[in-house]
Each structure stands twice: as structure tokens, then as C-alpha cells.
Chains A and B, each alone.
Chain A
Amino acid sequence: EDQVTQSPEALRLQEGESSSLNCSYTVSGLRGLFWYRQDPGKGPEFLFTLYSAGEEKEKERLKATLTKKESFLHITAPKPEDSATYLCAVQPYGGATNKLIFGTGTLLAVQP
């Protein structure tokens, strides 16, 4: 069964304290892995798509990496405005519907 597990469930950092969020997945075949940011009361906001092991993508203080079993979202020198829930989703091969399987997210709080 296709599955996505994110850890930790919650993470509290001091401003400037770098860390990583983990997304482990089991899928019959990976078509793509997606990272989203979700602020309270809002819809998920697209961050990155990764397609193959070894691929990396960066945006400001965020860097996403991908292996055959997991993805990491590295946050370098975070600021309070980086506080949000970060969602990981995988798209398995098969079908033409672009179905996504989501993890439950990591709630990140960055304190000044």
C-alpha cells in the first residue's frame, strides 16, 4: 500500500537554528514528490516537486532533497515567518489522474 510518513509531527526552533523535516514514503513507483506549505486557515501552497533520487531544489531558506525512500526539507537559518505546517505528498505511477497521497504534515514553529 502506498504510504507517506512525516516526522517529526511538530518542531520548535529558535530563529537561525537550522534543521530538517523528513518525509518517508513507500510507493510502487514514484512519479513525483511534492512539498507544500500550509498556514493556519489557508490552503496548501506549492513549494517544490522532485522526480528522481539525487534531485535537489532550493527556494530562499528551504532546500528539498530526494532519495529512493525519503525526502528531506532542510531549513537554513529559519525566521518566524517560516512557521507553518509543511506537507509532503507523493504521486505514484499509474493512472492519468495525478492522484496525490499526503502525509499528515510537520508543524514548524520558529521563535524569535
Chain B
Amino acid sequence: NAGVTQTPKFRVLKTGQSMTLLCAQDMNHEYMYWYRQDPGMGLRLIHYSVGEGTTAKGEVPDGYNVSRLKKQNFLLGLESAAPSQTSVYFCASRSQETQYFGPGTRLLVL
């Protein structure tokens, strides 16, 4: 099993550009999550999904949208990127009580 995978690994955007981050898991987990990690701050929840076709807002959802069209995939979209969205983004999926994380996507918005 590959576990949780994320693409791309690194991306540079200009302010106002859009992009989609892809998270995939092959463990048949229902719950999936998107976090961002910034220096000096703990991981913060952006959006999450409790199953295929469902999404919900987390702690810092502004400027992001998500979709869960297939159970194994959870997409995070930035419609108009801002420098404040420069961060490392982690996806996670949940088995019972434990969340398992992907390797991350490093995003730089200029």
C-alpha cells in the first residue's frame, strides 16, 4: 500500500493564479483532512470530509475549496492564490481514531 500520497510536492504560484492539490489514499478510509503547517504554529485544519461526496469547513477555510468526488481522492483548490497561502499543506486520512499523513506539498505564492 502506498498509504497517503500528495501531488505535487512543490509548486510556485504568482498572486492570483489558481491550482489544485491532489491527495490520494489507498486504505479505503472514509475520513480525509487537509491541513496547513506554518512556522511557529501547529498544524491547522482547513477542510475535511467524512465520506465520498461530503466536505466541511475546518479552522482556516477561507480562500480554499475542496471536493471529494471519489472516496480515495480529496482535492484542495486555491481559486486566487495569495502570499498568505504560502505554506506546507498536508493531507491525512483516518483509520479508527488515528490520522495518517501524506508527505506534504510545499507551496510558495509570490
Contact = CB atoms under 8 A, between A and B. Distances in A.
Contacts of B31: 97-98
Contact of B90 (A34, A43, A49): A43
19 contacts: A32-B97, A41-B104, A42-B103, A43-B4, A43-B90, A43-B104, A45-B101, A49-B97, A89-B42, A97-B31, A97-B50, A98-B94, A98-B97, A99-B45, A99-B58, A100-B45, A101-B42, A102-B43, A105-B42
A44 to B, nearest CB: 5
A43 B102 contact: yes
A4 B97 CA distance: 18
A99 B94 CA distance: 10
A22 to B, nearest CB: 15
Most buried by A among B42, B44, B99, B103: B42
B42 A44 contact: no
A93 interface: no
A102 B99 CA distance: 12
Interface in A94-109: 96-105
Interface of A: 4, 31-32, 34, 36, 41-46, 49, 87, 89, 91, 96-105
Interface string B85-97: 0000010001001
A34 B95 CA distance: 14
Contacts of B50: 96-97
Given A43-B101, A43-B102, A91-B97, A104 B42 contact: yes
A49 B101 contact: no
B101 A44 contact: yes
Contact of A104 (B40, B48, B94, B102): B40
Q: Which 8 pairs across A and B sit closest by C-beta, in order of nearness?
A: A102-B42, A43-B101, A102-B43, A44-B101, A43-B103, A104-B42, A43-B104, A43-B102
B99 A98 contact: yes
A102 B100 CA distance: 14
A39 B97 CA distance: 22
